């Protein structure tokens, strides 16, 4: 293989024109960055190569289609195309509507005729369309195409207690003093298109967001506003705090039919995984066993009556003498 490559290089170095196979043989080992640098250099020197590069790059719509989000609910497809036509000829552009309600879903797509127009639109600043700051990126890159999702939590701010008169333009103009804004808008109700009293601002860098939070002056539209990170309360709902060193224990499993104290049973719905005891059909009294009968006493033999010792007399008519400790003993000894 090395000998073949060396021979090809020698043939090309002798002044002969290389064939397509020879050029492919030379280009295949090159890395992508090397090929990009080579084509960039050739395209800038030869207009024909530049046109060929543009034609190949624009053939696939994936490189020409933009995803535009943050649109106002009243923005139409015509308004969207008018905002982006300054960068070049538009092949297709439309706002996406909900099939059930026929209302805008707040985003749309723009497809240019060539890739150059797409790159110009991406490099341009975000557009203010119908009072909202619209953000665009390549559709193939998804929602996070223009932003670094890893530090989004440090760049996105929640703005609360806004006056109904505060518009998106006023909001963006107020917070632009801290740094370049990537996107932002007042939150509007879908049905009434009225302000909901809060909004969001996302900066290009985290330092600008921190400046906005640390700024002691937070008055907009005649009100003191709330400025904090948008996800500052994320994940805290429903959590319980335990003292240090105490490990929370999992709840014991519910036993079917067990009645919990204080739980209503009437028509209240039973919690998931818990069933209240079912009504038990009455049984006749005869079905229950009677109380246990005490066992009969063990049989005993009849007692043999003995005459009292005091009533006994010996053959001479004298009562018998009783030895010590033999009181009431049934036998006696005659007196000597």
Q: From CA 134, how far away is CA 181, in angstroms rounded? A: 11
Contact indicator for 91, 76 with CB cutoff of 8 Å: no
pLDDT tens digits for range 296-335 = 555 555 555 555 555 566 666 666 665 555 555 454 455 5
Contact indicator for 125, 146 with CB cutoff of 8 Å: no
| pLDDT at 24 (0 to 100) | 87
61-141 and 149-229, same CATH topology: yes
Contact indicator for 131, 171 with CB cutoff of 8 Å: no
Contact indicator for 194, 131 with CB cutoff of 8 Å: no
Domain ranges, ordered by start, for the chain = 2-11+18-45, 61-141, 149-229
| pLDDT at 302 (0 to 100) | 55
| Sign, Cα dihedral of 320, 326, 332, 335 | negative
| pLDDT at 213 (0 to 100) | 96
In this structure, of 72-76, 161-165, 278-282, 297-301, the range with the lowest mean pLDDT score is 278-282
State phi, psi for 143 to the nearest 5 degrees.
-70, -30
| pLDDT at 121 (0 to 100) | 93
Q: How many CB atoms lie within 10 A of CB 18?
A: 14
The angle formed by the CA atoms of residues 226, 232 and 235, to the nearest 5 degrees, is: 140
The angle formed by the CA atoms of residues 230, 231 and 235, to the nearest 5 degrees, is: 155
| pLDDT at 264 (0 to 100) | 47
Closest by Cα among 197, 92, 80, 93 to 135: 80
| pLDDT at 244 (0 to 100) | 42
> Which residue is it, tokens 């009969």?
296
In this structure, of 134-138, 155-159, 182-186, 287-291, the range with the lowest mean pLDDT score is 287-291
- Size (the chain), residues: 336
pLDDT tens digits for range 120-152 = 999 887 888 988 888 899 998 865 554 456 688
Q: Give the fold, CATH level 3, of 149-229.
A: Alpha-Beta Plaits (3.30.70)
The predicted model gives 176-200 an average pLDDT of: 90
Angle between helices 115-123 and 47-59 (to 10 degrees): 80
Q: From CA 49, how far away is CA 43, in angstroms rounded? A: 5
Q: Give the fold, CATH level 3, of 61-141.
A: Alpha-Beta Plaits (3.30.70)
pTM: 0.52
Per DSSP, the residues of 264-312 read --SSPPPPTT--PPPPPPP--GGGSPPPPPPPPPPP-PPPPP---GGG-
pLDDT tens digits for range 216-254 = 999 999 999 999 999 875 434 334 444 444 444 444 455
| pLDDT at 262 (0 to 100) | 47
């Amino acid at each position: 293989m090395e000998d073949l490559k060396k021979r090809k290089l020698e043939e090309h170095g002798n002044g002969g024109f290389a064939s397509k196979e020879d050029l492919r043989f030379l280009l295949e080992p090159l890395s992508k960055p090397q090929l990009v640098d080579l084509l960039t250099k050739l395209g800038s020197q030869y207009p024909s190569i530049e046109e060929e590069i543009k034609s190949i790059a624009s053939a696939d719509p994936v490189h020409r289609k933009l995803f535009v989000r943050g649109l106002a609910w009243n923005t139409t497809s015509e308004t969207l195309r008018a905002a982006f036509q300054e960068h070049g000829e538009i092949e297709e552009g439309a706002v996406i509507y909900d099939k059930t309600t026929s209302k805008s879903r707040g985003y749309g797509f723009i497809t240019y005729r060539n890739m150059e127009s797409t790159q110009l639109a991406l490099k341009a600043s975000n557009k203010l369309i119908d009072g909202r700051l619209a953000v665009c990126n390549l559709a193939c890159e998804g929602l996070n195409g223009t932003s670094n999702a890893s530090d989004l939590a440090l760049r996105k701010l929640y703005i609360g207690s806004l006056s109904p008169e505060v518009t998106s333009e006023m909001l963006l103009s107020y917070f632009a003093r801290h740094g370049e804004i990537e996107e932002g808008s007042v939150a509007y109700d879908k049905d009434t298109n009225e302000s909901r009293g809060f909004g969001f601002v996302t900066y290009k860098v985290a330092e600008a967001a921190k400046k906005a939070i640390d700024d002691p002056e937070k008055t907009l539209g005649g009100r003191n506003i709330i400025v904090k990170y948008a996800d500052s309360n994320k994940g805290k709902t429903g959590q319980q705090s335990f003292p240090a060193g105490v490990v929370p224990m999992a709840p014991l499993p519910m036993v079917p039919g067990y009645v919990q104290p204080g739980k209503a049973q009437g028509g209240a719905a039973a919690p998931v995984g818990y069933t209240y005891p079912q009504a038990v059909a009455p049984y006749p009294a005869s079905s229950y066993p009677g109380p246990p009968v005490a066992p009969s006493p063990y049989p005993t033999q009849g007692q043999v009556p003995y005459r009292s010792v005091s009533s006994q007399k010996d053959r001479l008519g004298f009562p018998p003498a009783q030895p010590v400790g033999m009181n009431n003993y049934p036998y006696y000894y005659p007196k000597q």
